[in-house]
Chains A and B, each alone.
Chain A
Amino acid sequence: MERETLDVDILVVGAGPAGLSAALRLTQLQAAQGGAPLSIAVVDKAREPGAHSLSGALLDPSTLADLVPDFMAKGAPLACPVTNDNVYVLGPQKKFRLPITPPPFANHGNYVISLSHFVKWLAGQVEAAGVDLFMGFAGQSVLYEGTRVVGIRTSDRGVGKHGTSRGAVEPGADIRAKVTIFADGVRGHLTKDLLRTLQMGGSQPAQFAIGLKELWDVPADRLAPGTVIHTLGYPLRQEEFGGSWIYALPGGRLSIGLVVGLDYKDPLLDPHTAFQRFKLHPFVAGLLDGGQLVRFGAKALPEGGWNTQPALAADGALITGDAANFVNSMRLKGIHLAMRSGMLAADTACAAVRAGDTSVTQLGAYKAAVDASAIKRELYPVRNVHQAFGAGIVIGAAFAGLAMATGGRWPEDLQGHAGHTRMKTLSDYYGLEERDRLVGSNAVTPDRVLTFDKATSVHYAGVHHEENQPPHLLVQTDVCHSVCGPEFGHPCVKFCPANVYEMVDNGAGGRRLQLNASNCVHCKTCDIMDPYGVITWVAPEGGEGPHYDGM
């Protein structure tokens, strides 16, 4: 079968908030400016818009108001406005409510939303404006001509496990564009390729956290819709960055989640287990009592802030949203920033195409626009906050306070480090004597009422992958089978929330890595956190993965 090709003016890679905002903005510019019609294409690996979208989430509607001023009339699914904010510090059994809500946690004017529903709605706006939305097409690689990005190639379909075919193999399509806007999300695999190939890394290495989330149905009178709760402390320790959220949606639906910084030291830390322990805390268990689990999901999120943004443009390319690390980790918000960056990228891309010049110089207008925008105004003052947490939560919190007080003025920016380099070896962390007696330090036996094992969580993520396809996790297993065990104790088995990585008996007295690739929830944690950096996540066949309905 022949490889399909498609030529467009502007290609948007990723149909999340950044990509869809870019696409919608382009149609608005088109309508306002007239002239030759711009051909626009959006591609996304998920089967339908929102299927891979996961967040708490609290939406700052400022960008939405700019993009779609009559968003309420157009049916935007802003589930409910935030009515009250609460911040607690949790101990193992107790809780302490902060009498004053620290400003970053104040959410007046914001909305509790389901990001998945929001993305679905936004996609509807984009399609109604006539843009071709190609869902279920996974990106395989970026197409280059020298240092110029000329588009992407999508993945082949119908390939079997050992490279043979399942029926007819359909080669991936080449979509060529004058400007490609990268919006492939946190640790986007195409953006990762772009940054490496064209050496576009920012001044500091990116930093990440993993967010694990569940939706629960509880009795409708349990929490008033719009109640926002954030917690710090238990089950994380002083040395670990993170915290939790509990948001009340209408109709007794709760969104709960735990964020764990992917820069922890304990190689045996299991974020999924930490999340289960969180639910067992009397406060949380009380909120979930009598309820039913509806959905589970996990996804990484960028934490490093302003100084971890990559170079934002190349010849023929712009980077937006989470892929550019535009998340305010202090306020725990990124959706409005993603949308803003998408809009700005659209402005630049449109002007460049019209001017017939899509070089990195011309596209540099995007960076200038970002610098002049609310994105920098918001992210710059808190640019060192996450890096300060590297010294522990107390110092981090103190630093955050200082950052607020001084508006981010600081003599020299703090240097951040890639999170996976902070993981200590078993010997360093546990001491040589303890190593023999190692059990998962935070193991929980699932009770199947409040707490569940990873296999059950995967089921509730609605994950589906064709079993008969090549594994989409590229691992240099000689590391797994030699040094990793003694050095780190196979942390992939712990940090993957979906039980993709298992060390099984190799039949010769040792162990080998088994990949349960079809469990994957596309969270990207493994690509980020493996201490040797030998795991590369690539997209499995398009249209597959989790189904984050309502997440």
Chain B
Amino acid sequence: MMLVVAEQKAGRLNRASWEAIAAAQQLSAGSVPVSVAVLGSDVAAVAAELSAADVSGVWIVSHPQLASYTPDAFVAALAELVTALAPTHVCLPHTYQTRDFAPVLAARLDRVLITDVTGLSRRDGVPVFTRPMFQGKLVAEVVAEGPAPHFVSFQIGAFRADSATRGSGAPVTARPASLQGATLRQTAEAPFQESKAAVDLSQAERIVAVGRGIKAQEHLALAQQLAAAFNAELAASRPICDNGWLPMERQIGSSGQTVAPKLYVAVGISGAIQHLVGMKGARTIVAINKDAEAPIFEVADYGIAGDLFEIAPALIAELGKA
């Protein structure tokens, strides 16, 4: 069987868990059952949510020391579980939390962990994992070696949460962790949010970026409205920041920030290579530019070759509906 480790925080399921389930289902392709484990101390609701997946079962791995996350507790609990269940693969979403404990877990069990996987295929019956290398400049196809289980973490957003097949309700079973003999060395305080003075575009899910096509500083207001309509952060290509129309922190490109949001709308940006290297990792790219030959269209999923001063207001109106 394959084991998916779901992630929750304060009783809320991290959506990336569904992506991991989808990935595991694809990896198995029906050959072995997929089950899910969720760790915590009060996670019945989360488990119930997970039981809607087409999986063979949901394990609640509970213990007072799992109430809030520490790597030692999670590694100890999962080491127990994995040893007991002996899955072929352990699948996790590549979240900050997974990055914190999964390598230790794999090392404790002396097994291989392949991280940041974006795709799956098979070669001679053996799973092949696709992952980025050299900051996304190259794509690698990798096979896992050594004894099972093989641990795999999946890049956030690489697999679609809604492509996880649903079932008719999987059984939920409690499997408390014993954590016997485990030394738990970390003490964690409660997480808190910091109001960031600087804008961090790398965290934005959606970005609207403007370039030279906006022509004059007074037209920035239109760009701001468009960003608001998309519920996106406003960013810019270098010339706009060089002119001082937007601060340097909003610059995307080789001399600014590199981003990979879910949606990137490039407005009046030609797509010079210095800009492209900063945003071509975005999942969905929309380009609006007067010049149909502009290089930006080469990386765009959707393009409108037209006058942004007409398209942008139309988009704002359209997004305002419903």
Binding site for B on A (CB under 8 A): 448, 453, 455-456, 458-459, 467-468, 504, 507, 514, 516, 518
User: In the assembled complex, which residues on chain B have CB atoms less than 8 Å from the CB atom of A518?
Assistant: 255
User: In the assembled complex, which residues on chain A have CB atoms less than 8 Å from the CB atom of B277?
Assistant: 459
Confirm or deny: B254 has a beta carbon within 8 angstroms of a beta carbon on chain A. yes
Q: A455-B274, A467-B255, A518-B255 are in contact. List 19 more A-B contacts (CB 8 A).
A: A448-B295, A453-B272, A455-B272, A455-B273, A456-B272, A456-B273, A458-B274, A459-B254, A459-B272, A459-B273, A459-B274, A459-B277, A467-B248, A468-B248, A504-B243, A507-B217, A514-B242, A514-B243, A516-B242
Within 8 A of A (CB), among B269-319: 272-274, 277, 295
Q: How far is the CB of A174 from chain B (nearest CB, A)?
A: 32
Q: How far is the CB of B196 from chain A (nearest CB, A)?
A: 19
Name the residue in B243, B248, B273 with the highest tally of chain A Cβ atoms < 10 Å from its Cβ.
B273
Inter-chain CA distance A459–B272, complex, in Å, is: 9
B239-281 vs A, CB cutoff 8 Å, 1 = contact: the mask equals 0001100001000001100000000000000001110010000
Inter-chain CA distance A29–B254, complex, in Å, is: 46
Binding site for A on B (CB under 8 A): 217, 242-243, 248, 254-255, 272-274, 277, 295
User: In the assembled complex, which residues on chain A have CB atoms less than 8 Å from the CB atom of B248?
Assistant: 467-468
Q: How far is the CB of B257 from chain A (nearest CB, A)?
A: 12
14 contacts between A and B (CB under 8 A): A453-B272, A455-B272, A455-B273, A456-B272, A456-B273, A458-B274, A459-B254, A459-B272, A459-B273, A467-B248, A467-B255, A468-B248, A507-B217, A516-B242
Inter-chain CA distance A330–B242, complex, in Å, is: 43
User: In the assembled complex, which residues on chain B have CB atoms less than 8 Å from the CB atom of A468?
Assistant: 248
Q: How far is the CB of A170 from chain B (nearest CB, A)?
A: 22
Inter-chain CA distance A504–B295, complex, in Å, is: 23
Q: How far is the CB of A246 from chain B (nearest CB, A)?
A: 25
Q: How far is the CB of A495 from chain B (nearest CB, A)?
A: 21
- List 3 tightest A-B contacts by C-beta distance, closest first: A455-B272, A459-B273, A456-B273
Q: Which A residue's beta carbon lies closest to that of B276?
A: A459
Majority-rule SS of B interface residues:
helix
Q: Which A residue's beta carbon lies closest to that of B298?
A: A448
User: In the assembled complex, which residues on chain B have CB atoms less than 8 Å from the CB atom of A458?
Assistant: 274
User: In the assembled complex, which residues on chain B have CB atoms less than 8 Å from the CB atom of A514?
Assistant: 242-243
Inter-chain CA distance A459–B253, complex, in Å, is: 11
User: In the assembled complex, which residues on chain B have CB atoms less than 8 Å from the CB atom of A453?
Assistant: 272
Q: How far is the CB of A70 from chain B (nearest CB, A)?
A: 37
Inter-chain CA distance A402–B19, complex, in Å, is: 78
Inter-chain CA distance A468–B272, complex, in Å, is: 21
User: In the assembled complex, which residues on chain A have CB atoms less than 8 Å from the CB atom of B242?
Assistant: 514, 516
Inter-chain CA distance A514–B243, complex, in Å, is: 9
Q: How far is the CB of A515 from chain B (nearest CB, A)?
A: 9
Inter-chain CA distance A507–B273, complex, in Å, is: 28
Inter-chain CA distance A516–B274, complex, in Å, is: 13
Inter-chain CA distance A504–B217, complex, in Å, is: 13
Inter-chain CA distance A168–B274, complex, in Å, is: 29
User: In the assembled complex, which residues on chain B have CB atoms less than 8 Å from the CB atom of A504?
Assistant: 243
Q: Which B residue's beta carbon lies closest to that of A468?
A: B248
User: In the assembled complex, which residues on chain A have CB atoms less than 8 Å from the CB atom of B254?
Assistant: 459
User: In the assembled complex, which residues on chain B have CB atoms less than 8 Å from the CB atom of A448?
Assistant: 295
User: In the assembled complex, which residues on chain B have CB atoms less than 8 Å from the CB atom of A507?
Assistant: 217
Inter-chain CA distance A455–B243, complex, in Å, is: 17
Q: How far is the CB of B270 from chain A (nearest CB, A)?
A: 9
Inter-chain CA distance A93–B74, complex, in Å, is: 71
User: In the assembled complex, which residues on chain A have CB atoms less than 8 Å from the CB atom of B273?
Assistant: 455-456, 459
User: In the assembled complex, which residues on chain B have CB atoms less than 8 Å from the CB atom of A467?
Assistant: 248, 255
Inter-chain CA distance A458–B242, complex, in Å, is: 17
Q: Which B residue's beta carbon lies closest to that of A456?
A: B273
User: In the assembled complex, which residues on chain A have CB atoms less than 8 Å from the CB atom of B243?
Assistant: 504, 514
Q: How far is the CB of A526 from chain B (nearest CB, A)?
A: 18
User: In the assembled complex, which residues on chain A have CB atoms less than 8 Å from the CB atom of B274?
Assistant: 455, 458-459
Q: How far is the CB of B272 from chain A (nearest CB, A)?
A: 4
User: In the assembled complex, which residues on chain B have CB atoms less than 8 Å from the CB atom of A455?
Assistant: 272-274
User: In the assembled complex, which residues on chain A have CB atoms less than 8 Å from the CB atom of B272?
Assistant: 453, 455-456, 459
Inter-chain CA distance A468–B255, complex, in Å, is: 11
Q: How far is the CB of A233 from chain B (nearest CB, A)?
A: 31
Q: How far is the CB of A311 from chain B (nearest CB, A)?
A: 41
Q: Which A residue's beta carbon lies closest to that of B217?
A: A507
Inter-chain CA distance A459–B255, complex, in Å, is: 11
Q: Which B residue's beta carbon lies closest to that of A454?
A: B272
Inter-chain CA distance A456–B273, complex, in Å, is: 6
Q: How far is the CB of B307 from chain A (nearest CB, A)?
A: 19
User: In the assembled complex, which residues on chain B have CB atoms less than 8 Å from the CB atom of A516?
Assistant: 242
Q: How far is the CB of A276 from chain B (nearest CB, A)?
A: 16
Inter-chain CA distance A467–B254, complex, in Å, is: 11
Inter-chain CA distance A518–B238, complex, in Å, is: 11
Inter-chain CA distance A455–B272, complex, in Å, is: 7
Q: How far is the CB of A113 from chain B (nearest CB, A)?
A: 28
Q: Which B residue's beta carbon lies closest to that of A504?
A: B243
Inter-chain CA distance A28–B255, complex, in Å, is: 44
Inter-chain CA distance A518–B242, complex, in Å, is: 11
Q: How far is the CB of A31 from chain B (nearest CB, A)?
A: 43
Q: Which B residue's beta carbon lies closest to that of A515?
A: B242
Q: How far is the CB of B213 from chain A (nearest CB, A)?
A: 14
User: In the assembled complex, which residues on chain B have CB atoms less than 8 Å from the CB atom of A459?
Assistant: 254, 272-274, 277
Inter-chain CA distance A183–B229, complex, in Å, is: 58
Q: Which A residue's beta carbon lies closest to that of B277?
A: A459
Q: Which B residue's beta carbon lies closest to that of A448?
A: B295
Inter-chain CA distance A507–B242, complex, in Å, is: 15
Q: How far is the CB of A234 from chain B (nearest CB, A)?
A: 27
Q: Which B residue's beta carbon lies closest to that of A467?
A: B255
User: In the assembled complex, which residues on chain A have CB atoms less than 8 Å from the CB atom of B217?
Assistant: 507
Q: How far is the CB of B212 from chain A (nearest CB, A)?
A: 10
Q: How far is the CB of A302 from chain B (nearest CB, A)?
A: 32
Q: Which A residue's beta carbon lies closest to that of B272?
A: A455
Q: Which A residue's beta carbon lies closest to that of B248?
A: A467
Inter-chain CA distance A456–B272, complex, in Å, is: 7
Inter-chain CA distance A195–B143, complex, in Å, is: 63
Inter-chain CA distance A288–B66, complex, in Å, is: 62
Q: Which A residue's beta carbon lies closest to that of B215?
A: A505
Inter-chain CA distance A514–B212, complex, in Å, is: 14
Inter-chain CA distance A290–B272, complex, in Å, is: 22
Name the residue in B217, B243, B255, B295 with the highest tally of chain A Cβ atoms < 10 Å from its Cβ.
B255
Inter-chain CA distance A504–B254, complex, in Å, is: 22
Inter-chain CA distance A504–B242, complex, in Å, is: 11
